[in-house]
Amino acid sequence: GQNIDQPTEMTATEGAIVQINCTYQTSGFNGLFWYQQHAGEAPTFLSYNVLDGLEEKGRFSSFLSRSKGYSYLLLKELQMKDSASYLCAVNRGSYIPTFGRGTSLIVHP
């Protein structure tokens, strides 16, 4: 089995930087995803990491440490539209993602 832990809620100020952490315990690790989900909408893909290190994509970056079972999503230059839930998902051995409960990010002016 696997456990995936994320903070339930975070708040940040527009224009700032926020880091959302995810820790996991799993057998047969095959990569980690981050998805964004706005209220009442479907999750949408943000990033995928399978090797240790940082992947940067515009204002969003995702980091992975396989030895520590740890990942984070870094959001820079926060905008109001970044208010959403951020879901960490770990690929099991058969490439089937298991999701954490998500972190609700509130961005205020």
Interface contacts to another protein, rule CB under 8 A: 30-31, 33, 35, 41-45, 48, 50, 87, 91, 94-102
Residue 22 CA to residue 32 CA, distance in Å, equals: 10
CB 108 → another protein: shortest distance, Å? 22
Q: Quick one: 14 or 41, whose CB is closer to another protein?
A: 41
Residue 97 CA to residue 82 CA, distance in Å, equals: 23
Do the beta carbons of residue 22 and residue 72 sit within 8 Å? yes
Q: Quick one: 34 or 72, whose CB is closer to another protein?
A: 34
